[in-house]
Amino acid sequence: MIMKRFLFGTLLALPLAVASLPSQASAAQIIVRPVVHRNVVVRPRPVVHQKLIPGHWEQTRYGRRWVPAHYVRV
């Protein structure tokens, strides 16, 4: 009877003892390096001057034709 109690107590305490042991992941130390903010110089693009030519009708040999609006460089 005493041996059965001893084995039963041991089997009951064994899972609790195993669960209380620290795992490998909890013992590891994770080091995260800080984010370094680098200054970025943004240069403006060179300005290309453009002029809008509005749409208009154009005379051709076969009649009139619509020319849509478009931009031309100045």
Q: Where in the chain are the domains?
A: 2-73
The structure tokens listed for 21 are 């042991």
Which of 24-28, 36-40, 55-59 has the lowest average pLDDT?
24-28
Mean pLDDT calculated for residue range 52-70: 96
Say which residues have a Cβ less than 8 Å from residue 55's Cβ, sequence separation at least 6: 66, 67, 68, 69
Question: In the chain, what percentage of residues exceed pLDDT 70?
Answer: 84
pTM: 0.35
pLDDT at residue 56, rounded to an integer: 96
- Looking at residue 13, the DSSP 8-state letter turns out to be H
Give the mean pLDDT of the chain.
83
